[in-house]
A and B are shown apart, each in its own frame.
Chain A
């Protein structure tokens, strides 16, 4: 497939909102940005005054032709770039962005298959973009999200996901702390959780899994054990420094 040219753009921060204690939504105005598909990412490059450069990849939360690009960044405790983006970057500051990037971990409204999204932690960001694309396209393809997170306070975009529950419902799964009155005890996703909260292989879903490496590999193995075809599972791992 041909792709639009990939280049470096200058993005100026125009909006920043706190999502959780450790995550922030950053919207950059990016003149010349060609728009992006749901699930794509950018490489973000910072240059220090001494010329030192650091580049990291971040999923894009926004979708469509707009030249405003929204990222959601979680602070990694030992991170070199993310603490600066979450704590220090101010409206009006500029960064360099390369993109839009990626064609594999992408959902297009013309895909006919039902869609299962499975997020671990901040891996929800590209999947949120897919629910936004589903809404924007008024798609009637079934799409649902299984969102695994440590505690209720770690949820990114909870209100937005809940507002979309009639078209792209979310199953919430907590691994450390559950909300009051929650019937399921906190714990890792089990094969039973996967079976009960995801579209079964008989429906032929396309499944997108995004999260830390260990989460993605556990979930992907679990899906194959449930009978899903490996090529129907698209994965994106994140982590790093």
Chain B
């Protein structure tokens, strides 16, 4: 499946992030890579969003939107302060 990147999460994640999601930084708990959410790889849009590390391809977060409800399942991501 063709992947996109974390820019596409700006809308779906906007209700759960207090600040701009795409410039929020995170660290992959598997490989320790630090990147902004915009730099992550995203699979499955627009049905849902499986967010994978650009470095090790590990699943960081899974985001789903359904009937106006947004769910974020954190798998392997430590959120850091925004850039």
> Which residues on A are within 8 Å of B, measured CB to CB?
1-3, 6, 41-43, 54-57, 98-99, 101-105, 213, 234-241
B3 touches A237 (CB 8 A): yes
A181–B1 alpha-carbon span in the complex (Å): 39
Q: Count the B residues whose beta carbon is within 8 Å of the partner chain — how many? A: 24
- A4, closest chain B residue (CB): B20
* Residues from chain A with Cβ under 8 Å of B11 in the complex: 6, 42-43, 55, 57, 98-99, 101
Known: A55-B46, A240-B46. A104 touches B4 (CB 8 A): no
Known: A1-B82, A41-B7, A237-B3. A105 touches B46 (CB 8 A): no
**A-B pairs with beta carbons under 8 Å apart, 23 shown:** A1-B23, A41-B7, A42-B11, A55-B11, A55-B46, A57-B8, A101-B10, A101-B14, A102-B20, A102-B38, A104-B37, A104-B38, A105-B22, A213-B3, A213-B4, A234-B38, A235-B5, A236-B5, A236-B7, A237-B4, A237-B5, A238-B4, A239-B2
Contact of B22 among A2, A54, A103, A238 (CB under 8 A): A103
Total A-B residue contacts, Cβ distance less than 8 Å: 71
A1–B11 alpha-carbon span in the complex (Å): 16
CB B18 to nearest CB in A, in angstroms, measures: 9
- B21, closest chain A residue (CB): A103
A237–B4 alpha-carbon span in the complex (Å): 5
CB A24 to nearest CB in B, in angstroms, measures: 20
Using A102-B38, A213-B4 as known contacts, list a sample of 20 further A-B pairs with CB atoms less than 8 Å apart, ordered by residue number in A: A1-B20, A1-B23, A3-B19, A6-B15, A43-B12, A55-B65, A56-B46, A57-B11, A99-B11, A102-B7, A103-B20, A103-B22, A104-B36, A104-B37, A105-B38, A234-B38, A236-B38, A240-B2, A240-B45, A240-B46
A239 touches B4 (CB 8 A): yes
A213–B3 alpha-carbon span in the complex (Å): 7
A101–B7 alpha-carbon span in the complex (Å): 9
Residues 53 to 81 of chain B near chain A (Cβ within 8 Å): 65
